[in-house]
């Protein structure tokens, strides 16, 4: 999918969730489509404030959390780098191996939930994520 289509998909998801689509929100989507990797809330704020000098960090952070909740963004917590976000990869169900050194992410298809995990209390799963943190091959050297 090309970058323009990805931005449109993100914006359409915002609209389906009742968000008013503004130029600022389109730019927010564009920032993630243009960046192949993770961005901290400060990274996003710094980029967005170049276009919208009056935007507040709180507004950026709140939008990132809400976009994550609606599935537009994925969030990960890095021990040294804190909370970071990236564009969701919704093409198919998979999980991630994440390098704690360089933040490279590798997808893997095996899903632990397919092993027939028995959950207590008649718990109904709506969605899930599984991440494994470690060192990629290059960072082990």
Q: How confident is the model at residue 28 (pLDDT cuts 50, 70, 90)?
A: very high
Distance of CA 21 to the CA centre of its chain: 19
- 78 strand-pairing partners: 82
Q: Which is it for strands 95-99 and 131-134: parallel, antiparallel or unpaired?
A: parallel
- Looking at the predicted structure, is the pLDDT value of residue 90 above 90? no
Q: Is 93 annotated as a binding residue?
A: yes
Q: What is the pLDDT of residue 38?
A: 87
Q: 3 pLDDT band (50/70/90 cuts)?
A: confident
What's this model's pTM, rounded to 2 decimal places? 0.74
Q: Extract the tokens encoding 4.
A: 């323009």
Residue 128 annotated as binding?
yes
CATH number for the domain running over 95-140: 3.30.1490.190
In this structure, CATH architecture of domain 3-87:
Orthogonal Bundle (1.10)
The model's pLDDT over 31-78, given as tens digits with 9 standing for 90+, comes to 999 987 789 999 999 999 999 999 999 999 999 999 998 888 988 887
Reported as a single tens digit per residue, the pLDDT across 69-82 is: 888 898 888 777 78
Annotated binding-site residue? 4:
no
- Residue ranges, CATH 1.10.10.10, the chain: 3-87
Percent of the chain with pLDDT strictly greater than 70: 98
Does 89 or 71 have the greater pLDDT score? 71
List, by residue range, all CATH 3.30.1490.190 domains of the chain: 95-140
89 is in an annotated binding site: no
Confirm whether residue 111 is marked as ligand binding. no
């Amino acid at each position: 999918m090309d970058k323009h289509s990805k931005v449109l998909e993100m914006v359409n998801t915002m609209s389906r969730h009742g968000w008013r689509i503004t130029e600022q929100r389109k730019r927010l989507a564009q920032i993630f489509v243009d960046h192949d990797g993770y961005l901290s809330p400060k990274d996003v704020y710094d980029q967005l404030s170049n276009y919208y000098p009056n935007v507040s960090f709180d507004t950026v952070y709140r939008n990132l959390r809400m976009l994550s909740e609606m599935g537009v963004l994925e969030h990960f917590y890095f021990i040294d780098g804190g909370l970071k976000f990236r564009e969701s990869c919704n093409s198919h169900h998979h999980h991630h191996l994440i390098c704690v050194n360089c933040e490279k992410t590798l997808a893997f298809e095996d899903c632990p939930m397919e092993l027939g995990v028995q959950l207590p209390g008649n718990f109904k799963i709506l969605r899930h994520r599984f991440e494994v943190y470690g060192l990629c091959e290059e960072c082990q050297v």
